[in-house]
């Protein structure tokens, strides 16, 4: 099913992208020879008018082939004086055709996201609650600013807030390094300012977010590749009751107990469907986290979530605000990658997208549409990067043409495109290899291969 959801989701995003190129090209009087979803051998094809429509074997992209477009060397060589050739059109017309694809991807979320809130999706219950601080993280900017559990946020950066649903986007906005707060405490309203230090930027920004304190029951979610807990017989949904005879009340306590083991075997007691089970688990050291782990992620209690739906006006407003937040998050990730604050290992490729698509679909159509909107934003922004072979690369070539009053020589364009293709293929290979390791684990794959012989 993961593959099916992946094909449906990615296929829609690719179709919308290529449809943008196609429609503007047709409207501009350019002859479109082929509209393809996917690359490689054509599996399904038919012709309508002068255009061939097809679905090709590799579903990782698509293309619109226009007469006189330099990227395609097959078929008829179109004279430059052909009025319907792409190369014969004005710079402005060609620019519109190139930008239409990313524009459609950036427009799609503003259609999908209101639908998400109209249909409804699973949301944490605290989003509809008053903005009371459930806790303040130790040694966090919030604690240093003097905030206390039980304080109620009245305003965030000058904007009045009544619920966590209104406050959280302001607190979590990607560019936020400081917050101006009005806080109600024992009948008084206090002005507070929280500033994130550079040393704290990689952790939770402010230390007052509800996610740090709610839904922290020690429930097992998913397993990492080569997970010691899975090897010991643990299952998703298990609740950890004790570790080495010491009761466990929350996820943080379990994590601390595991790390304190320094790799020695631990006796776990878990509850599964009312039955208590004992198992011995040997933690492994995680180089990225710099601590001992048993290879599990935190699961959530169903009681923590509720399905929320909004009226049309509120859905449009919520959708717009959510899109702005996702745009900001995407730009922040790009900035962190460029400044080397983030690694390519934090990116997700086709395998990870397929896995996440299936998980979102299981939670309902609202969650699946939310994921598609987020992916569409990323696809649109990434396509605008000035990398040859991407739409942004073509825009860069056209910018040169506009300034120099002549196109960049073909030889230099081909060299730039080859470099761009090499960089993209390298990144795709690295991300895919990382996907395989994070989803299945190379050790498990090698073990299965050895079992065949």
Domain with CATH 2.30.42.10 in the chain: 124-213, 220-299
The β-bridge relationship of strands 296-298 and 305-308 is unpaired
Which has the higher per-residue pLDDT, 448 or 69?
A: 69
Residue 178 — pLDDT band, cuts 50, 70, 90? Answer: confident
Q: Please give the Cα distance from 149 to 128 (Å, whole number).
A: 18
Model confidence band, residue 202 (pLDDT cutoffs 50, 70, 90): very low
pLDDT, one tens digit per residue, over 361-408 is 677 788 888 889 988 998 899 899 888 888 888 899 889 888 988 888
Handedness of CA 310, 314, 320, 325 (dihedral sign): negative
Mean pLDDT of 165-187: 82
How many angstroms from the chain centroid is the CA of residue 139?
Answer: 29
273/17 Cα distance (integer angstroms) = 47
CATH topology of domain 220-299: Pdz3 Domain (2.30.42)
List residues bridging with 188 in a β-sheet.
185
Residues 6+ apart with CB under 8 A from 9: 353, 357, 368, 371, 372, 375
DSSP state of 374: H
Cβ 182 vs Cβ 190: under 8 Å: yes
Does residue 447 register a pLDDT over 70? no
Which whole number is the average pLDDT over 308-333? Answer: 88
CATH class of 124-213: mainly beta
In the chain, % helix, strand, coil (3-state, to 5) comes to 45, 20, 30
368's CB contacts (< 8 A; 6+ apart) are 5, 9, 357, 360, 361
- Catalytic residue set: 18
Out of 74-78, 382-386, 434-438, pick the least confident: 74-78
Report how far residue 268's alpha carbon sits from residue 248's, in angstroms, rounded to the nearest whole number: 10
What whole-number distance in Å separates Cα of residue 126 and Cα of residue 369? 22
Q: Residue 248, CB half-sphere, CA atoms under 13 Å: how many?
A: 27
| Mean pLDDT within 195-215 | 71
> How far apart are the C-alpha atoms of 275 and 292, rounded to whole Å?
28
Q: CA 5 to CA 8: how far, in whole Å? A: 5
Query: pLDDT-based confidence at 353, cuts 50/70/90?
Result: low
pLDDT in tens, 12-40: 899 999 999 999 999 999 999 999 998 88
CA 236 to chain centre: 23
């Amino acid at each position: 099913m993961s593959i099916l959801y992946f094909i449906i989701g990615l296929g829609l995003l690719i179709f919308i992208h290529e449809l943008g190129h196609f429609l503007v090209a047709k409207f501009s009087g350019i002859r479109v020879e082929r509209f393809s979803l996917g690359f490689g051998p054509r599996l399904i094809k038919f012709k309508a008018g002068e255009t061939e429509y097809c679905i090709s074997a590799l579903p990782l992209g698509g293309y619109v082939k226009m007469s006189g477009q330099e990227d395609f060397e097959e078929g008829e060589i179109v004279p430059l004086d052909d009025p319907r050739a792409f190369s014969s059109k004005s710079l402005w017309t060609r620019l519109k055709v190139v930008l239409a694809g990313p524009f459609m991807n950036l427009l799609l979320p503003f259609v999908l996201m209101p639908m998400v809130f109209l249909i409804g999706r699973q949301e944490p219950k605290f989003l509809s609650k008053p903005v009371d601080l459930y806790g303040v993280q130790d040694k966090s900017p919030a604690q240093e600013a003097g905030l206390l559990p039980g304080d109620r946020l009245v305003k965030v950066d000058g904007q009045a807030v009544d619920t966590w649903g209104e406050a959280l986007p302001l607190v979590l906005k990607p560019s936020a390094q400081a917050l101006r707060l009005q806080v109600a405490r024992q009948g008084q309203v206090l002005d507070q300012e929280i500033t994130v230090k550079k040393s704290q930027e990689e952790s939770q920004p402010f230390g007052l977010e509800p996610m740090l304190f709610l839904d922290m029951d020690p429930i097992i979610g998913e397993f990492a590749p080569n997970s010691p807990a899975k090897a010991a017989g643990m299952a998703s949904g298990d609740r950890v009751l004790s570790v080495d005879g010491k009761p466990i009340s929350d996820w943080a306590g379990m994590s601390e107990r595991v790390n304190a083991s320094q790799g020695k075997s631990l006796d776990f007691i878990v509850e599964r469907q009312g039955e208590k089970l004992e198992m011995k688990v040997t933690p492994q050291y995680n180089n990225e986290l710099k601590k001992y782990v048993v290879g599990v992620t935190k699961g959530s209690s169903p009681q923590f979530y509720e399905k929320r739906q909004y009226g049309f006006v509120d859905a449009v407003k919520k959708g717009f605000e959510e899109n702005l937040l996702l745009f900001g998050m995407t730009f922040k990730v790009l900035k962190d990658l460029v400044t080397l604050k983030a690694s390519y290992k934090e990116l997700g490729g086709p395998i990870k997208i397929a896995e996440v698509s299936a998980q979102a679909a299981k939670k309902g159509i609202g969650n699946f549409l939310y994921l598609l909107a987020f992916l569409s934003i990323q696809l649109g922004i990434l396509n605008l990067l000035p990398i040859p072979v991407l739409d942004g690369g073509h825009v860069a070539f056209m910018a040169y043409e506009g300034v120099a009053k002549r196109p960049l020589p073909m030889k230099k364009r081909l060299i730039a495109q080859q470099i761009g293709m090499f960089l993209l293929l390298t990144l795709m290979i690295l991300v895919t290899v990382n996907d395989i390791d994070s989803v299945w684990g190379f050790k498990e794959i090698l073990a299965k291969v050895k079992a065949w012989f």
